[in-house]
Chains A and B, each alone.
Chain A
Amino acid sequence: MTNIPKKLFYSATHEWVRKDEDVLTIGITDHAQTMLGDLVYVELPEPETGFETGQECAVIESVKAAADIYCPISGEIVEVNEELLQNPQVINQDPYGKGWLFRLRPFENDFTNKLLNADQYTKQVASEAH
């Protein structure tokens, strides 16, 4: 079974969001990494760049396919996970931990109502698996 931690928020496009103080950490879900398979290449955004909600901000590629990463909440990138550039498979091994993609400072404080909670995301994954 796919792992969907209760404490995180999710986008419909399979990114997860965690709030640490005033910064959000973003990655892709366990379900997304399973669907993509072994990841071999990651392109991350430049720090200090701003992105709108839903804007393409990174690319991850597996042997099989390329996937765009959409910024789940508008904000400015403050840090990216450089380790992934050398070792993209960290995302497969630990999607919610060492496999985080980037951190951003959101432009708006109240973002949770724009995202899915774990139950809602679980339902979405189930409905895609028809």
Chain B
Amino acid sequence: MGKKTPLYDNHLAANAKIVDFAGWDMPLHYGSQLKEHNQVRQDAGLFDVSHMTVVDLSGKDVTAYLKHLLANNVAKLTPNKALYTCMLNEQGGIIDDLIVYKISDTDYRLIVNSGTHDKDLAWLKKQIQSFTVTITERTDVAMLAIQGPKVKEKIKTLFPEALELKPFHFIKLDDTFIARTGYTGEDGFEIILPKTKAPAFWDQLVSLGIAPCGLGARDTLRLEAGLNLYGTDMDEKVTPLESNLTWTVAFEPKERDFIGRSALEKQQQAGVKQKLVGLVLEGQGVLRNHQRVIVENIGEGEITSGSFSPTLNKGIALARVPAETLDKCLVEVRGQRLTATVIKPPFIRQDKKSLVGV
């Protein structure tokens, strides 16, 4: 028996298949993962992501603290804007990836992964040092994601204020926090609200035609969108430069001394030896985590996330391969070597629903 979100009974009522995810009893699907995947690509889907960790930070030094803590630079943010970033250790290894939301110069919110809950909170506390910062984990809230091209239309009377939000912007309406963010590659929102209000709110969204979708669909959606999963595609043994996340590291201004900076600079000077790329299997089949990748005359790599793309009807994967890898490789699938095309993720883009880069 794992931890339960406030929406657990809603999931049971919707016939969810419940599985353990990082110690939480979460819905894998409500009948068909493929149907839920397509629902999000074509219409609108609803996810319970209350297992994720919400942390509020406040205090007069909080901006300076976050400029030191995070590899991306919160100085880019104005109030009501959010930023995707990695949190690194001194060696440049990724402790976690997260979204930081700026409420004001003295108030921020972080959303971090559930699987890294304990070590993230310990690290956040350890780095306070002489900064005046208060850390409050928000265990009193639930988090829902509504994703898909028809979400805006379906919530237009419920949250007219949210319709004008630009990507990675958010608003607070009383006790409800609405951000134009997500993990599917589709337009949509992530909503944080008091736990007590979550079950009725869930039912309301369902009644608007936003169908419940499980973590299974969430995984194939994020993979098609080329979004890394912490613990699978990256961890403390690799840096953002080896994880297709160089764009999230703010090296400018040079005087900002963030944790991991010197290690990343050394790695850049020495030359980054491996990279995270997308693979598309040329023939039929499914790619799986940990399958061996062979790059002829160059070296070997490994699939970090492999699956089947319902949108492309092909096996796709993220893989860590030698930096010199060009446009083709071989993947060892049950003793056979199958040809795959190497692309820069994402595999599909919003509104195109087609293969990118092939």
Binding site for B on A (CB under 8 A): 37-38, 40-41, 59, 61, 63-64, 66, 85, 89, 92
**Do A38 and B32 form a contact, CB below 8 Å, given A63-B220, A63-B308, A64-B216?**
yes
Q: Which residue of A lies closest to B315 (CB)?
A: A41
In the assembled complex, which residues on chain B have CB atoms less than 8 Å from the CB atom of A85?
Answer: 284
- Closest chain B CB from A55 CB (angstroms): 15
Q: Which residue of A lies closest to B17 (CB)?
A: A37
Q: How far is the CA of A49 from the CA of B286 in the complex (A)?
A: 25
Binding site for A on B (CB under 8 A): 28-29, 32-35, 216, 220, 284-286, 288, 307-308, 310, 315, 334
User: Which 5 pairs, one residue from A and one from B, show the smallest C-beta to C-beta distance?
Assistant: A38-B34, A40-B308, A61-B286, A41-B286, A38-B33
Q: Which residue of A lies closest to B220 (CB)?
A: A63
> Tally of A-B residue pairs with Cβ under 8 A?
38
Q: Are B307 and A63 in contact (CB under 8 A)?
A: yes
Q: Which residue of A lies closest to B36 (CB)?
A: A38
In the assembled complex, which residues on chain A have CB atoms less than 8 Å from the CB atom of B284?
Answer: 41, 85
Q: Are A59 and B334 in contact (CB under 8 A)?
A: yes
**Do A63 and B334 form a contact, CB below 8 Å, given A38-B33, A38-B34?**
no
Q: Which residue of B lies closest to A59 (CB)?
A: B334
Q: How far is the CA of A59 from the CA of B285 in the complex (A)?
A: 10
Partner of B34, one of A59, A61, A63, A66: A63
Q: Are B334 and A61 in contact (CB under 8 A)?
A: no
Q: Are A41 and B285 in contact (CB under 8 A)?
A: yes
A-B contact sample (17 more), CB < 8 A, given A37-B33, A63-B216: A37-B28, A37-B216, A38-B33, A38-B35, A40-B286, A40-B308, A40-B310, A41-B285, A41-B286, A61-B285, A63-B34, A63-B307, A63-B310, A64-B216, A66-B334, A89-B34, A92-B32
- Closest chain A CB from B33 CB (angstroms): 5
**Do A66 and B32 form a contact, CB below 8 Å, given A40-B308, A59-B334, A61-B308?**
no
Q: How far is the CA of A41 from the CA of B286 in the complex (A)?
A: 7
| Among A64, A85, A89, A92: residue with most chain B CB under 10 A | A64
Q: Are A41 and B334 in contact (CB under 8 A)?
A: no
Q: Which residue of A lies closest to B35 (CB)?
A: A38
Q: How far is the CA of A41 from the CA of B220 in the complex (A)?
A: 15
Q: How far is the CA of A66 from the CA of B288 in the complex (A)?
A: 9
- Closest chain A CB from B12 CB (angstroms): 17
| Among A59, A63, A85: residue with most chain B CB under 10 A | A63
**Do A63 and B33 form a contact, CB below 8 Å, given A40-B308, A41-B308?**
yes
- Closest chain A CB from B57 CB (angstroms): 37
**Do A40 and B34 form a contact, CB below 8 Å, given A63-B307, A66-B288?**
yes
In the assembled complex, which residues on chain B have CB atoms less than 8 Å from the CB atom of A63?
Answer: 33-34, 216, 220, 286, 307-308, 310
Q: Are A37 and B308 in contact (CB under 8 A)?
A: no
- Closest chain A CB from B39 CB (angstroms): 13
Q: How far is the CA of A13 from the CA of B288 in the complex (A)?
A: 22
| Among A38, A41, A92: residue with most chain B CB under 10 A | A38
Q: How far is the CA of A64 from the CA of B35 in the complex (A)?
A: 14
In the assembled complex, which residues on chain A have CB atoms less than 8 Å from the CB atom of B33?
Answer: 37-38, 63-64
Q: Which residue of B lies closest to A39 (CB)?
A: B34
- Closest chain B CB from A37 CB (angstroms): 6
Pick 27 A–B contacts, CB within 8 A, sort by A: A37-B32, A38-B32, A38-B33, A38-B34, A40-B308, A40-B310, A41-B285, A41-B286, A41-B308, A41-B315, A59-B334, A61-B285, A61-B286, A61-B308, A63-B33, A63-B216, A63-B220, A63-B286, A63-B308, A63-B310, A64-B33, A64-B216, A66-B286, A66-B334, A85-B284, A89-B34, A92-B32
